[in-house]
Structure 1
């Protein structure tokens, strides 16, 4: 058997063995608590499938944010065993204080660098020398437990989660190990292709809906159809031939986007058999607050798949409409905009050039913040997780990864928060 690429494999084996035993010995209800994004949904579904196969009694709760209030609410039922997926490592002290019987399967920087605290077992890559921002996502962490029961088919779900968490450019570390394990057991194959071929849509609509890459010059469906007809490509056909692909790539040279257009496509054993497309559909389910549909899709339900594909189209129409209208305000070291709930994260990511971008959306007396950087900015010292932690000074809370992080602040502190983050990012990028 291949050896997992983990520095302290003995410590890893010890904690994963204890988690396996804890799950096997639980005779009562197990409650999965997971995040609403593609990585959280795939992580939760990996644990859901694992527990169902083990004939365990399971509930699932899907949250946008594991706040102090939500932890306290969950603690009212802490006679159950809890499994926190894609969250929990940043709230472990509170979870322990409220005497949870829990397993935490997370990839965000941990509050406590221990695998055991109270009645909690914590599996987090940061505790074993791996980087949770680029080497493994939460779905991968959950798969490391599922594979102990030899459920190797769930590796493909972990690949979808890693793609949803933007950890596939390229796959490295544990992500690459999981990808290769899926290939080894023939649950996944890789082909080089044009990115637009992965959607189950007419080619004109595939190009229009593509935001990875997002080509601003192609922001109208009629404009795209004209280009395709000029190239003698039927705008309504699904998929394109090799010759048509070459003609399209030649045309797109004027946008300097060719490197982004030829990608590795990951074909998986699912009814939505393209991993990238599946991650996009799951993202739409989360953003449209239809997370149960996302879980149904991952379980292979036909009606949920139909609903999910429609949600994907609705979400993309809304997102592209907002992309056309977004107005960035530039400061010395950051850029920001005020947007709508559910889209600020992706818009922030798409708008990043030479400065990190912060997207705000208003929720009552609070602004939710999505901050995004780039690999180049991170290499220059950017750490948005540390920058977002400053939200605690402004009536909120925040954290995440160096390249992508979130926060919440009191609305009346917006300008002060921006000035502070601008200052922090400036200091980081000077180093």
Structure 2
């Protein structure tokens, strides 16, 4: 079955419904995926309720309507067979209404996000080409490449005037000072989170004709390079995109705001933006500012649990995923990174694969989580789990042994 054929099966099942319960993962990719399909359902006259969540279990699904899971569900073997899943994680769900690039041997880590998969389904529901811009936060948010089907959707968006490509500084913010202050992709040691450092940086690159971007970036790199990785610093400047139909036009900014709002428990704000309402855009930016500053503060405090070990404890589960991203991407690491945070009796775990290291994190984390009485999974390079805190030591031991095998 081709990707379009599986998307058509899912699209036809959605179109048969009068009401759909939608659950979307709380990051940029999941929220964008959910919003794309809600746009498509709204245009098709299908009623829905969209909820944003960090995870979902079969027991939590509504029994009053068909459930549609976006960027969630592929790793669940116990979902009701009538569940609809639009995802790109390692597939274990065996239901027939399952659209996932991995089922068609397409790289779900790099070449098609959940938002991209949702866009292909939406296209089978009607002419939804104007939604191509919402695929971009999925690509950027999950650190994917503009390759394969991602590139095809991008090119289609460009051809239709939905996406306008450009080059520039990729940091997200409402003005130049805020872009550097809130920098977490990449995180810039000595600059991120410091008003005075940002003011000095901008003042030193100011000339009569305005800021000189090349000098600005050079000074930022020189300030950060003792601690920062080359891969992280390369993200400072590159491809940018103007999303012509979205309420935040800059693709990197839209991605940052959606992601921060979702992870901060303000998924309603993120969804409103994706549904093209600008009413609460100021509030959404303030949530983003607060979230990024909290991530930066957490990075200043986080330390390895033991010397020479890439296992870290984070004090706030809301921040642990972003902290793991930064530690793996923006710092020099020799081994996969594990970050855990305690929330009552549960531990939330985020794992990441730094550049130059190899492992199948999704498989390893899923097996370890199950052995520890929890659940987990994800991608080859990014995975997460929730386990009882009393089993944390066993999980970490299994993690270290699994990586060494």
Query: Please, what TM-score do these two structures have when normalized by structure 1?
Result: 0.85
| 2:47 aligned with 1:57 | yes
Whole-Å separation in 1 of the counterparts to 2:386 and 2:60: 19
Structure 2 match to 1:413:
391
User: How many residue pairs are counted as aligned between the two chains?
Assistant: 390
How far is 1:288 from its partner?
1.1
| 2:60 aligned with 1:73 | yes
Structure 1 match to 2:217:
249
Whole-Å separation in 1 of the counterparts to 2:9 and 2:297: 49
Alignment of 1:201-280 (within 5 A): 201=175, 203-219=176-192, 220-232=194-206, 241=210, 244-254=212-222, 255-256=224-225, 259-269=234-244, 270-280=246-256
* Alignment equivalent of 1:139, drawn from 101, 115, 129: 115
Structure showing greater radius of gyration is 1
Structure 1 match to 2:258:
282
Structure 2 match to 1:295:
271
Whole-Å separation in 2 of the counterparts to 1:50 and 1:42: 12
How far is 1:374 from its partner?
2.0
| 2:345 aligned with 1:361 | no
Preserved contact between residue 33 and residue 70 of structure 2 (Cα < 8 Å): yes
Whole-Å separation in 2 of the counterparts to 1:181 and 1:314: 35
Note the alpha carbon deviations across 1:80-99, whole angstroms, 9 max, x for none: 22221111222244322xxx
How far is 1:233 from its partner?
5.8
Whole-Å separation in 2 of the counterparts to 1:344 and 1:323: 10
1:376 is paired with a residue of what secondary structure? coil
Which has the larger displacement, 346-355 or 253-262? 253-262
How far is 1:59 from its partner?
1.5
Whole-Å separation in 1 of the counterparts to 2:86 and 2:308: 38
Structure 1 match to 2:166:
191
Alignment of 1:11-410 (within 5 A): 11-26=2-17, 28-67=18-57, 71-77=58-64, 80-96=65-81, 101-112=82-93, 117=95, 120-148=96-124, 149-167=126-144, 170-196=145-171, 198-201=172-175, 203-219=176-192, 220-232=194-206, 241=210, 244-254=212-222, 255-256=224-225, 259-269=234-244, 270-330=246-306, 334-352=310-328, 353-377=333-357, 381-389=358-366, 390-410=368-388
Note the alpha carbon deviations across 1:362-407, whole angstroms, 9 max, x for none: 1221111111122421xxx311112212121112111101111101
Preserved contact between residue 333 and residue 426 of structure 1 (Cα < 8 Å): no
1:333–1:425 Cα change, 3 Å: farther
Which has the larger displacement, 259-268 or 281-290? 259-268
1:259–1:88 Cα change, 3 Å: closer
How far is 1:331 from its partner?
6.4
Bigger helix fraction: 1
1:413–1:224 Cα change, 3 Å: same
How far is 1:75 from its partner?
4.6
Structure 2: unaligned runs, 5 residues or longer:
none
Preserved contact between residue 22 and residue 49 of structure 2 (Cα < 8 Å): yes
Preserved contact between residue 183 and residue 189 of structure 1 (Cα < 8 Å): yes
Whole-Å separation in 1 of the counterparts to 2:4 and 2:254: 31
RCO higher in 1 or 2 (8 Å CA, sep ≥ 6)? Answer: 2
Whole-Å separation in 2 of the counterparts to 1:142 and 1:228: 40
Whole-Å separation in 2 of the counterparts to 1:398 and 1:22: 28
Query: Please, what TM-score do these two structures have when normalized by structure 2?
Result: 0.90
